[in-house]
């Protein structure tokens, strides 16, 4: 039984083998012998098979680029698309300009001092004393009312400025033609908020510097008699201005040189201010008194404002410290200790001022609102793939019919030509008569062309047709349409634009320029860092008027010249007034330099946000706008 089954299988294989070697697709070709017909059939099958395999391999391994459009995507779909097709995804916004207040909320929380009873007018009024200027200079009762008046003013002013800045910021627009992905959106918004903080802080610092310089260089006398005092010399009618000095860390500081002189405050055991006056130096007031105790962190000095900035609020976080002072200042019974703060207790008021008395900005960024307002009507992305079964099948079907017809028509003629060339070679080997051979070649060539022409005229690839003439005409129409179709396909393939995605990892600047020169409209280079500091891409170095670097504003040059004049000169003498004018000029130069320097620090620490590399023209345009805006901002700060 097993042997019978084996014999049957062998018989089937033999029959299949004989069928394959004897298959004849050209049995209607009368011009070909049976052997040539079989040879043409094998050649036809092999050539068609090889061609189909090549086409299949080409279509399988060739990269095809597809464009997909999704209408009205929601936020989740957008995030999924961006995760997969970040480099080619494009989602145009219906609304390209969106106000900041639609997706940014800033609600700053201020230091407890700015919401406490310490800045209440009732409390401040309770600290007033008609004879406050008679207290010992280091007695805190001299300045406590002024200190809290200044704190209240600083809190109100800063809160108002910050509120106005936030309102103005909220009315600005974020302009995006395409939806920004969350990470890029968040980076850009963080940069915008950071710039708002820096700009507001710089603005307030500028006001502070201007006030300090203005107060000092205009020689303003404190009503508390803490920087200067006027005294009539006994036995004369001469009024002399006396300057106070303060000692810190065993170093003496005169209020005639700076307003920043300070000393530890406390509570004195005497009410009257006793002074000793040195008639020789016309300077130096020494206070003969004894402090009962000092107050931690509290400083007094030439002016309440400057001494407050160098003070800390650590005593007012401690109820025991407040109670101890309350024994001498009854108004403190109206307040309680400050609640905790994220600032260190020993942070100076100047530190708080530099942070705008803000504990935290309480910023909220809402990407969902941004996406909803942007509301892209569609998202388009490109993707590439190597193997697409449908594409392979369609390509084979579209090519197979044409290839079959071409091979079916051309292969018999090719076989015939090969056969004749083979016979000619045999004759050539037997006959060495060159003229005869040349004549034979020419004759055979013309004869072959004539025969091919006649065969073409009688070609009929539809032999099953009832009429031979109909088959011949059908063949001619088929060949004409086939040739035209092939020509159209050739020209279409020549002019069609195919999209190919090429990636260049970590390109250099020269490589980028070369790529941009060739593919400017399609080049996409995502940045590895979405933001860079201005200082890394722009450099600004201001050059000031020569007067600000000349000798006439130098302390050790021209200004030193005025120190040698006698103080008894007439008040309107240039040697008296000139010094003040040149000092004022010096101050203006310093203020200008400080303003520009502060603005430059803010500018350099600002960040330039971009998701993709900008071409050189766009980069130059945007940086030029930023520089012009910076120049205008500096000018606006100066004229405030």
The share of the chain scoring above pLDDT 70, in percent, equals 73
Stretch 424-440: mean pLDDT: 53
Stretch 592-597: mean pLDDT: 83
pLDDT category of residue 191 using cuts at 50, 70 and 90: confident
pLDDT category of residue 585 using cuts at 50, 70 and 90: confident
Count of domains observed in the chain: 2
The answer to whether residues 379 and 91 touch, using CB atoms and an 8 Å cutoff, is yes
Assign 540 to helix, strand or coil.
Answer: coil
237 part of a folded domain: yes
Q: Is the dihedral of CA 513, 514, 517, 523 positive or negative?
A: negative
Scored b (16 or more CB within 10 A) or e, 113-127 reads bbebebbeeebbebb
Q: Give, rounded to a whole angstrom, the gap between the first and last alpha carbons of the chain.
A: 114
Which one has a higher pLDDT value, 218 or 376? 376
376 part of a folded domain: no
State the Cα–Cα distance between residues 212 and 418, nearest whole angstrom: 107
The closest of 62, 65, 64, 72 to 382, measured between CA atoms, is 65
pLDDT tens column, 438-465: 445 666 667 667 766 666 666 666 665 5
The answer to whether residues 217 and 584 touch, using CB atoms and an 8 Å cutoff, is yes
Confidence (pLDDT) at 195? 86
Least confident window among 36-40, 214-218, 466-470: 466-470
Query: Between the ranges 252-266, 334-348, 505-519, where is the mean pLDDT highest?
Result: 334-348
Stretch 564-592: mean pLDDT: 70
Confidence (pLDDT) at 283? 44
Confidence (pLDDT) at 495? 62
Confidence (pLDDT) at 444? 63
468 part of a folded domain: no
231 part of a folded domain: yes
Domain termination site, one of 344, 364, 384: 364
The closest of 367, 297, 320, 307 to 98, measured between CA atoms, is 367
State the Cα–Cα distance between residues 159 and 162, nearest whole angstrom: 5
The share of the chain scoring above pLDDT 90, in percent, equals 24
State the Cα–Cα distance between residues 359 and 341, nearest whole angstrom: 7
The answer to whether residues 363 and 100 touch, using CB atoms and an 8 Å cutoff, is no
In order of 229, 252, 266, 276, the CA distances from 294 in angstroms are 24, 19, 4, 23
Residue whose tokens read 């060495």: 432
Rounded mean pLDDT of the chain? Answer: 79
574 part of a folded domain: yes
Scored b (16 or more CB within 10 A) or e, 180-215 reads bbbebbebbbbbbbebbbbbbbbbbbbebebebbeb
pLDDT category of residue 286 using cuts at 50, 70 and 90: very low
Confidence (pLDDT) at 276? 46
Query: Between the ranges 231-235, 249-253, 535-539, where is the mean pLDDT highest?
Result: 535-539
How many Cβ atoms sit within 10 Å of the Cβ of residue 471?
18
The answer to whether residues 598 and 206 touch, using CB atoms and an 8 Å cutoff, is yes
pLDDT category of residue 321 using cuts at 50, 70 and 90: very high
Tokens of 464: 């099953």
Confidence (pLDDT) at 584? 78
Residue whose tokens read 């002024």: 146
Confidence (pLDDT) at 9? 66
Has residue 491 got a pLDDT over 80? no
On the CB side of 321, CA atoms within 13 Å amount to 14
Has residue 282 got a pLDDT over 50? no
Which one has a higher pLDDT value, 201 or 500? 201
DSSP H/E element including 76: helix 75-85
pLDDT tens column, 351-375: 999 999 999 999 999 999 999 999 9
Can you give the residue range of the structural domain that contains 262? 104-158+216-364
Confidence (pLDDT) at 75? 93
495 part of a folded domain: no
Domain termination site, one of 364, 395, 412: 364
Domain termination site, one of 364, 395, 429: 364
Confidence (pLDDT) at 288? 47
Residues written for the chain: 640
Burial class (CB in 10 A: 0-12, 13-18, 19+), 267: buried
Instruction: For 497-525, give the DSSP string.
Output: PPP-----SS--HHHHHHHHHH-TTT---
pLDDT category of residue 280 using cuts at 50, 70 and 90: very low
pLDDT category of residue 634 using cuts at 50, 70 and 90: confident
551 part of a folded domain: yes
State the Cα–Cα distance between residues 259 and 220, nearest whole angstrom: 10
The answer to whether residues 115 and 336 touch, using CB atoms and an 8 Å cutoff, is no
State the Cα–Cα distance between residues 150 and 216, nearest whole angstrom: 17
pLDDT category of residue 437 using cuts at 50, 70 and 90: very low
Stretch 270-275: mean pLDDT: 53
Q: What does the CA dihedral 390, 395, 400, 405 come to, rounded to 10 degrees?
A: 150
Residue whose tokens read 């392979």: 392
Instruction: For 140-192, give the DSSP string.
Output: GGGTHHHHHHHHHHHHHHHHHHHHHHHHHHHTSEEE-SBPPPHHHHHHHHHHH
The reported pTM is 0.69
State the Cα–Cα distance between residues 383 and 499, nearest whole angstrom: 10
125 part of a folded domain: yes
Residue whose tokens read 């107060």: 215
State the Cα–Cα distance between residues 436 and 456, nearest whole angstrom: 30
- DSSP collapsed to 3 states, 248-266: ECCEEEECCCCCCCEEEEE
Burial class (CB in 10 A: 0-12, 13-18, 19+), 352: buried
State the Cα–Cα distance between residues 131 and 117, nearest whole angstrom: 24
H helices of 316-433, in order, are 319-326, 349-354, 367-374, 389-430
pLDDT tens column, 115-128: 999 999 999 999 88
State the Cα–Cα distance between residues 374 and 185, nearest whole angstrom: 12
pLDDT category of residue 6 using cuts at 50, 70 and 90: low
Residue whose tokens read 């003439």: 469
pLDDT tens column, 50-79: 877 877 777 777 777 778 899 999 999 999
């Amino acid at each position: 039984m097993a042997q019978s089954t084996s014999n049957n299988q062998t018989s089937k294989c033999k029959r299949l083998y004989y069928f394959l070697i004897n298959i004849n697709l050209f049995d209607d070709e009368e011009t070909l012998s049976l052997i040539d017909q079989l040879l043409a059939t094998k050649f036809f099958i092999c050539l068609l098979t090889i061609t189909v395999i090549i086409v299949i391999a080409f279509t399988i391994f060739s990269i095809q680029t597809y464009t997909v459009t999704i209408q009205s995507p929601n936020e989740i779909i957008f995030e999924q698309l961006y995760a997969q097709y970040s480099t080619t995804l494009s989602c145009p916004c219906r609304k390209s300009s969106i106000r900041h207040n639609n997706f940014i909320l800033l609600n700053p929380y201020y230091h407890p001092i700015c919401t406490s009873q310490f800045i209440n007018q009732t409390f401040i009024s309770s600290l007033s004393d008609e004879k406050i200027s008679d207290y010992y200079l280091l007695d805190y009762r001299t300045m406590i009312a002024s200190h809290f008046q200044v704190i209240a003013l600083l809190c109100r002013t800063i809160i108002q400025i910050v509120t106005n800045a936030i309102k103005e910021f909220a009315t600005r627009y974020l302009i995006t033609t395409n939806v920004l992905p969350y990470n890029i959106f968040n980076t850009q918004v963080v940069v915008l908020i950071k710039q708002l903080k820096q700009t507001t802080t710089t603005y307030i610092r500028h006001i502070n510097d201007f006030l300090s310089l203005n107060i000092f260089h205009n020689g303003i006398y404190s009503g508390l008699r803490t920087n200067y005092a006027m005294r009539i010399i006994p036995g004369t009618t001469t009024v002399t201005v006396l300057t106070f000095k303060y000692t810190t860390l065993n170093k003496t500081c005169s209020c005639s040189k700076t307003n920043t002189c300070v000393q530890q405050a406390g509570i004195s055991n005497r009410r009257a201010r006793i002074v000793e006056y040195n008639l020789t130096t016309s300077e130096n007031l020494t206070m003969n008194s004894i402090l009962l105790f000092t107050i931690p962190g509290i400083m007094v000095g030439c002016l309440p404002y400057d001494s407050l900035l160098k003070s800390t609020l650590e005593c007012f976080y401690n109820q025991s410290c407040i109670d101890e002072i309350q024994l001498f200042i009854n108004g403190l019974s109206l307040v309680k200790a400050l609640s905790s703060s994220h600032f260190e207790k020993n942070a100076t008021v100047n530190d708080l001022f530099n942070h705008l008395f803000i504990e935290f900005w309480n910023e909220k960024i809402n990407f969902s609102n941004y996406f909803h307002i942007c509301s892209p009507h569609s998202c388009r992305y490109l993707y590439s793939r190597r193997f697409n079964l449908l594409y392979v099948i369609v390509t084979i079907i579209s090519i197979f019919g044409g290839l079959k017809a071409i091979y079916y028509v051309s292969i018999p003629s090719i076989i015939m030509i090969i056969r004749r060339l083979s016979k000619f070679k045999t004759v050539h080997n037997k006959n060495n008569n060159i003229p005869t051979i040349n004549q034979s070649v020419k004759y055979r060539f013309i004869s072959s062309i004539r025969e091919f022409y006649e065969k073409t005229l009688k070609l009929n690839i539809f032999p099953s047709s009832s009429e031979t003439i109909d088959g011949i005409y059908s063949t001619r129409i088929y060949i004409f349409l086939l040739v035209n179709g092939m020509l159209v396909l050739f020209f279409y393939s020549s002019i069609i634009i195919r999209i190919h995605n090429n990636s260049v990892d970590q390109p250099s600047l020269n490589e980028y320029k070369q790529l941009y020169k060739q593919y400017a409209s399609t080049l996409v280079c995502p940045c590895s860092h979405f933001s860079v500091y201005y200082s890394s891409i722009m450099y600004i170095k201001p050059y000031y008027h020569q007067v600000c670097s000349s000798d006439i504003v130098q302390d050790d040059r021209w200004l030193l010249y005025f120190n040698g004049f006698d103080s008894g000169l007439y008040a309107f003498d240039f040697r008296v007034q000139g010094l003040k004018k040149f000092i004022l000029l010096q101050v203006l130069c310093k203020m200008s330099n400080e303003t520009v320097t502060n603005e430059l620090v803010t500018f350099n620490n600002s960040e330039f946000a971009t998701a993709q590399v900008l071409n050189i023209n766009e980069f130059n345009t945007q940086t030029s706008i930023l520089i012009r805006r910076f120049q205008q901002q500096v000018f606006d700060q100066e004229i405030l």
